[in-house]
Structure 1
Amino acid sequence: MKLHANAPLGPKGRAFMVRRVTDDGLSLAEAAEAAGVSERTAGKWVRRYRAEGEGGLLDRSSTPKTVHNRTPDDRVEAIEALRRIRLTGPEIAELLEMATSTISAVLKRIGLGKLSRLEPIEPVRRYEKSRPGELIHIDVKKLGRIRGVAGHRIVGRKAAQRGPSRNDAAGVRRSQTGYECVHVCVDDCTRLAYVEVLADEKAQTAIGFLKRAVAFYRSHGVTVERLMTDNGSAYRSAVHALACRRLGIRHIRTQPYRPQTNGKAERFIRTMLREWAYASVFGSSAERAAALSGWLERYNFRRRHGALGHRPPIERLRELTGNNVAGIYI
Structure 2
Amino acid sequence: MPHATHANAALTPRAQLRLARLIVDHGWSPARAAERYDVSWRTAKKWAERYRDEGPDGMHDRSSAPHHQPNRTPAPVVRKIVHLRWKQRLGPVEIADRLGRASSTVHAVLVRCRINRLTHIDRATGEAIRRYKHERPGDLIHVDVKKLGRVPDGGGWRYVGRKQGNRNRAATPDLPRNKWRNPLGGTCYLHTVIDDHSRVAYVEAHDDETKETAAAVLRNAVAWFADRGVTVKRVLSDNGSCYKSNLWNQTCAELGITPKKTRPYRPQTNGKIERFHRTLAEGWAFKKFYSSEAARLAALPAWIHEYNHHRPHSAIGKHSPITRLDNLAGHHS
CA contact (8 A) 2:134 2:196 kept: yes
CA contact (8 A) 2:152 2:169 kept: no
The match for 2:240 among 220, 232, 245 is 232
Is 1:303 equivalent to 2:311 in the alignment?
yes
Q: Which amino acid aligns with 1:139?
A: D
TM-score by length of 2: 0.59
In structure 1, runs of 5+ residues without a counterpart are 1-79, 85-106, 113-118
Q: Which amino acid aligns with 2:235?
A: L
The match for 1:144 among 149, 166, 185 is 149
TM-score by length of 1: 0.59
- Whole-Å separation in 1 of the counterparts to 2:285 and 2:234: 28
Q: Which residue is 1:72 aligned to?
A: none
Is 1:213 equivalent to 2:221 in the alignment?
yes
Shift in Å, 1:204 = 0.2
CA contact (8 A) 1:133 1:223 kept: yes
Structural RMSD (CA): 3.1
The match for 1:281 among 267, 274, 289 is 289
- Whole-Å separation in 2 of the counterparts to 1:312 and 1:222: 17
Is 1:170 equivalent to 2:173 in the alignment?
yes
- Whole-Å separation in 2 of the counterparts to 1:183 and 1:175: 25
Q: Which amino acid aligns with 2:143?
A: I
Shift in Å, 1:201 = 0.4
- Whole-Å separation in 1 of the counterparts to 2:96 and 2:183: 41
Q: Which residue is 1:134 aligned to?
A: 139
In structure 2, runs of 5+ residues without a counterpart are 1-79, 85-93, 100-123
Shift in Å, 1:255 = 0.5
- Whole-Å separation in 2 of the counterparts to 1:207 and 1:111: 52
Number of residues of Structure 1 aligned to a counterpart in Structure 2 = 217
Q: What do the CA deviations read for 1:83-136 (whole angstroms, capped 9, x no partner)? A: x7xxxxxxxxxxxxxxxxxxxxxx999699xxxxxx971111111000100000
Shift in Å, 1:160 = 6.1
Judged with a 3 Å threshold, the aligned counterparts in structure 2 of structure 1 residues 110 and 270 are, in CA distance, closer, same or farther, namely farther
Judged with a 3 Å threshold, the aligned counterparts in structure 2 of structure 1 residues 249 and 110 are, in CA distance, closer, same or farther, namely farther
Percent of aligned pairs sharing the same letter:
42
Q: What do the CA deviations read for 1:299-325 (whole angstroms, capped 9, x no partner)? A: 1111111111111011111xxx26324
Bigger radius of gyration: 2
Q: Which residue is 2:128 aligned to?
A: 123
Secondary structure, in 3 states, of the residue corresponding to 1:167?
A: helix
Shift in Å, 1:144 = 1.1
Q: What does residue range 1-330 of structure 1 map to in structure 2 within 5 Å? A: 121-156=126-161, 159=163, 167-170=170-173, 175-317=183-325, 321=326, 323-327=328-332
Shift in Å, 1:148 = 1.4
Q: Which amino acid aligns with 2:250?
A: L
Shift in Å, 1:226 = 0.2
Q: Which amino acid aligns with 1:144?
A: G
Secondary structure, in 3 states, of the residue corresponding to 2:171?
A: coil
Runs of 4+ in 1 over 6 A off after TM superposition: none
Judged with a 3 Å threshold, the aligned counterparts in structure 2 of structure 1 residues 109 and 151 are, in CA distance, closer, same or farther, namely farther
CA contact (8 A) 1:136 1:187 kept: yes
CA contact (8 A) 2:263 2:269 kept: yes
